[in-house]
Amino acid sequence: MENPDTSPQRASETSAQVAVAEAELRRLGIEGVRVYHHGDLARLRVHSSADPAIWAGLLRAEIIKAVRSAGFRHVSVDLEDESAD
């Protein structure tokens, strides 16, 4: 029996969720951030070129709202440089 977490339909849903979250971040003018899917958790990996000020104040709340609009329940920020991969 096929694992429901690795089915083609689930992979498509996961990709769509990540794409929506990344599009919402770009809509806010935020570049240099990749979204990684971990079930209910969206891990935002920040490139060194991203402005650190975006994670503070009112924009922080907008980021959380934007990512949650893609269907994630939780949002975390991974400060390890995206270019380190």
- In this predicted structure, what is the pLDDT of residue 14? 87
CB-CB contact of 25 with 67 (8 Å): yes
Report the CATH number of the 4-84 domain: 3.30.1340
Distances from the Cα of 26 to the Cα of 10, 11, 20, angstroms:
24, 23, 10
User: Cα(66)–Cα(28) distance, rounded to whole angstroms?
Assistant: 8
Mean pLDDT computed over 12-33: 91
- In this predicted structure, what is the pLDDT of residue 31? 84
**Domain residue ranges in the chain:** 4-84
Q: Look up the pTM and report it.
A: 0.77
